[in-house]
Structure 1
């Protein structure tokens, strides 16, 4: 019990030390400020430069009903080359248009149905409703047999929003690349934190006292656990701030239409959903694996200033994984035997297997085997590094770090 308490104390001290630092505050606010500035710039530029309006198709079983409106609005909103419902459906599926309006005349009543992945543009809707009212009045005047009250003569416009797929496998290029970059940034941040944290204790008198009361393996594992807890805490803060920000923006009229046009909410929801479950486990284990490697590099240096040099091999490995993941994030590429093999190799598996799971190119048993291999590798590294950790931390010589690395 006492041993576990010492382990918990080391983990908690590491966690609190990082949380109280200004660097952690910048880790939280920095990415959020970058995202806010990016979307803010896109929003104001789109307004100031007069961004192109959404494109719609207006069709009907009676061309005489839809043709006048389509022709009148062909310069800004309507693609008047689309004349049938079937072509409009295919154009919507191919993202050639943002939606289409199907105008029908049933028993003298004008019925218009809008189909799209996002809400209809308010300006376009205003024009459409005005046209539908004029059309209804004209038809009611021509048809003397209609015995309907004026209230019942109002045209009906129904909106049918098609849900964007939560599965990013249908559109992998942008979405999967975004997820991959998020994972890369998080892992990169915490490998540097781990190396700096370990290097800061190097050769101090305090570390000698600590090793007299707790084993090097437990101390090292406690450090890694504290850093992992920091990563989880940061992810939770990002999730809470991001979700709260999206909810607030949705209720601000100035940004509501921009969010509807860009499908920002659906995109953010799809990203979060893709990082939950077993994929989040892979992300956290990836952080642990690279943190252990970076911590070992931090232990072999004499001065904290040399930490960045010592962690270069880990950084290069991360860059290699990032390049492979983005270059081969296509569904067909993820079915390649080479990518399948890499999804089982620790280091690569933390990134590539989640992509295969998202695109449904990996089975559950493949995921389980890859996960067991990754966990086994992490346990092996922790105990291997832990055994030489005490000697590395207590040594204090001027040899270059690569000579120490070779000897250890």
Structure 2
């Protein structure tokens, strides 16, 4: 077996057998299970809020009390003193003081703890509706006329395409589903970059910190050691991705018969989703993990001891966060923005932004191919450059910071030519 595979398999076995890897592997399943259990028990044990109504206008209080609600129920009380006593005795969860004059209806909610944003917004909307009805009656409008004024407009969106003769045809619009996939891909990419950038930099820094690197490089080439470490960590990342894919395929056998899943799959075209868009999303995700891992490996070779790893990969962290937030927020809010269009071709950022542009259909397959080509070329050049610098980097021990270490490494590399 070649030295490359010995190094790669050693890194792979050491990481996949670690407790931290199993925790990291199971964490999404644990979070999903806890979220499902919490929502299930919350729905079963959800108590209805009992709200007291106090108002000098009895008709107003009765109108509010008769309004149905799944999260609350009303009880008309005689005075604020009665409401305070009932609240203190925990007979009610809150009380609502209402008043009405020529300026409109006013409501003031008193409670010891929050009833929840949803309930509070519903109460406000309820008062707004009653106020609108009251004012409409004062203006002599009928309920039908009031309903026609508040009727929302009809708005639809159609995806169109043109044939060679310029004739337009309406096609399927899967942009919403593509957006969800692009959004999920962005989160997965960020999670994997943060995780494996730390792992590969720690792998290299730990060996350099123990001063064993001189012995290793005496028996193998520096480039072989670098590529073996990098490939071993990427195998660990691939293993985690494969586990998640297999878990999804297995779980799909249970969820495919659920009504919500059937309705969702019936409203989209799987062929269009599972074709170019998904392929490019996977390509950008894998290339993004690779190029950031190479950069993290370079940073890890510059430290003197493993304890400094967290500080040395800060440039990788900030660069990844920049692409993450740029794609997640600006890319979704304004996909045609000049900044978004330019950064979708810039390596390190394109892995985040181009899938979002594809999801919003503001980039063509040709644009994606150009971005992939730039990212691939940059990854190859960066990998070759980092491998060339690796030998001198791991032999330099400098306490004056990363920049000083890098300068000393460059001088050493020139002297070795």
**What band does the TM-score fall into relative to the shorter chain?**
0.5 to 0.7
CA drift at 1:197: 1.1
Over 3 Å counting, the alpha-carbon distance change for 1:217 and 1:265 in structure 2 is: farther
Instruction: Give the aligned partner of residue 406 of structure 2.
Output: 405
Over 3 Å counting, the alpha-carbon distance change for 1:36 and 1:261 in structure 2 is: farther
* Structure 1 residues without counterparts, runs of 5 or longer: 52-73, 82-86, 95-164
Give the SS at the match of 2:205: helix
Instruction: Give the aligned partner of residue 314 of structure 1.
Output: 316
CA drift at 1:36: 1.9
Contact in 2 for aligned 1:292/1:382 (Cα 8 Å): yes
Contact in 2 for aligned 1:166/1:273 (Cα 8 Å): no
Instruction: Give the aligned partner of residue 210 of structure 1.
Output: 216
Contact in 1 for aligned 2:281/2:355 (Cα 8 Å): yes
Contact in 2 for aligned 1:203/1:394 (Cα 8 Å): no
Contact in 2 for aligned 1:194/1:227 (Cα 8 Å): yes
Over 3 Å counting, the alpha-carbon distance change for 1:44 and 1:297 in structure 2 is: same
Kindly report which structure 2 residues correspond to 1:348-387, keeping only aligned pairs within 5 A, or say none: 348-387=349-388
Give the SS at the match of 1:301: coil
CA distance in 1, matches of 2:298, 2:386: 7
Contact in 1 for aligned 2:209/2:305 (Cα 8 Å): no
- The reply on whether 1:16 has 2:28 as its aligned counterpart is no
* Structure 2 residues without counterparts, runs of 5 or longer: 49-67, 71-143, 145-150, 158-171, 410-417
Contact in 1 for aligned 2:12/2:232 (Cα 8 Å): yes
Over 3 Å counting, the alpha-carbon distance change for 1:250 and 1:173 in structure 2 is: closer
Contact in 1 for aligned 2:179/2:359 (Cα 8 Å): no
Q: Deviations over 1:305-364 (max 9, x none)?
A: 11101111111111111111111232x722222211111100011111122223332222
Instruction: Give the aligned partner of residue 64 of structure 2.
Output: none
The one of 287, 290, 304 aligned to 1:288: 290
Instruction: Give the aligned partner of residue 248 of structure 2.
Output: 242
Give the SS at the match of 1:396: coil
Over 3 Å counting, the alpha-carbon distance change for 1:37 and 1:402 in structure 2 is: farther
The one of 327, 346, 359 aligned to 1:325: 327
Instruction: Give the aligned partner of residue 343 of structure 2.
Output: 342
- The reply on whether 1:230 has 2:236 as its aligned counterpart is yes
Over 3 Å counting, the alpha-carbon distance change for 1:172 and 1:371 in structure 2 is: closer
CA distance in 2, matches of 1:328, 1:376: 26
CA distance in 2, matches of 1:264, 1:407: 59
- The reply on whether 1:39 has 2:36 as its aligned counterpart is yes
Contact in 2 for aligned 1:173/1:329 (Cα 8 Å): no
Q: Deviations over 1:7-47 (max 9, x none)?
A: 23322222222111111111101122112212332233234
Contact in 1 for aligned 2:185/2:281 (Cα 8 Å): no
Coordinate RMSD, CA, aligned: 3.7
Over 3 Å counting, the alpha-carbon distance change for 1:203 and 1:260 in structure 2 is: closer
Contact in 2 for aligned 1:11/1:225 (Cα 8 Å): yes
CA distance in 2, matches of 1:40, 1:328: 34
Contact in 1 for aligned 2:182/2:355 (Cα 8 Å): no
CA distance in 2, matches of 1:42, 1:349: 37
Contact in 2 for aligned 1:203/1:395 (Cα 8 Å): no
The one of 45, 50, 63 aligned to 1:48: 45
Instruction: Give the aligned partner of residue 180 of structure 1.
Output: 186
Between the two structures, name the one with larger relative contact order (CA 8 Å, sep ≥ 6).
1
Over 3 Å counting, the alpha-carbon distance change for 1:276 and 1:24 in structure 2 is: farther
Kindly report which structure 2 residues correspond to 1:75-114, keeping only aligned pairs within 5 A, or say none: none
Kindly report which structure 2 residues correspond to 1:146-185, keeping only aligned pairs within 5 A, or say none: 167=174, 169-170=175-176, 176-185=182-191
Instruction: Give the aligned partner of residue 28 of structure 1.
Output: 25
CA drift at 1:179: 3.0
TM, length-normalised to structure 1: 0.63
